Amino acid sequence: MKRLKSSSSLIGIEFAFDDTQILSDCNKMIKENRFDCGALRITHSKGSKHNNLIITARENNYGQKIFQNGVSINISDYKRNENSLLVTVKSNNYLENLLILNMGINKGFNESIFFNTKEYLAEGCMSNIFFIKDEKVYTPATDNGLLAGIVRNKVIELLKKHKIPVEEGYYHKESLLDADEIFITNSLMEIMPVNRVGRHPFSVENEGFTNHLKTLYKQHYYK
């Protein structure tokens, strides 16, 4: 809700809806849509007289098998503009991301990642990215041109809570490919292991750091 309001403010749409009513409506949607695992999307848009708030529900199709195997990532040739006014806004304007994502899917990848105009790692089409090297976790700083996802922020908070070294910084492709492990995050997959970046394979092990972090995440946020 905090991000929804800040994004609305940034693009000049006044947010005049009651949080308690939104929560009540969300609970009704959950009861009416009997998914084993589902997701809600709250969309705020400008209207002619009054602004609109739309709540939709859909299934979450990330099953256990994909977490066991991990996903593959394509490195996009397109650059993320770290100076874009919209890069920090969570919006429905995903056409460019979807086109680039589909290019990667057509090559046999699950996700595509961007580097920015300065050749620093930024984000994925639908995810934030982390990598581990020598038991330290790295993720791009927000001014690299990325939308700081909810799960990204939770992971950073969790790492700090457990005193696991974590750094938000500026990383070239060589640093990413030299990693011990890589994982990506978003609100549907939460923490997803990566098994390949381009032609470079990465191990996805049950006893690896990524799976350890997934366990900590569930223990902390699923109380």
Give residue 118's pLDDT band: very low, low, confident or very high (50, 70, 90). very high
Q: What is the pLDDT of residues 84-103, one digit of tens each?
A: 877 877 777 778 889 999 99
The predicted model gives 13-29 an average pLDDT of: 92
Which residues does 84 contact at the CB level (< 8 Å), separation at least 6? 145
pTM for the model = 0.89
Q: Measuring CA to CA, how many Å separate 197 from each of 55, 114, 146, 148?
A: 35, 12, 19, 21
Strand segments (E) across 100-215: 111-116, 121-124, 128-133, 136-140, 166-169, 181-186, 190-197, 200-201
> Does pLDDT of 7 surpass 80?
yes
Q: Hey, how many other C-beta atoms are within 10 angstroms of the C-beta on 91?
A: 14
Average pLDDT over residues 50-77: 92
**DSSP class of residue 196?**
E
pLDDT of residue 144: 96
How confident is the model at residue 6, as a pLDDT?
86
Mean pLDDT, rounded, for 146-156:
95
- Domains located in the chain, CATH noted: 2-59 (no CATH), 64-221 (3.20.10.10)
In this prediction, residue 24 has a pLDDT band, given cuts at 50, 70 and 90, of very high
Reduced to 3 states, what is the DSSP secondary structure of residue 40? strand
Output the CA torsion sign for 41, 45, 47, 50.
positive
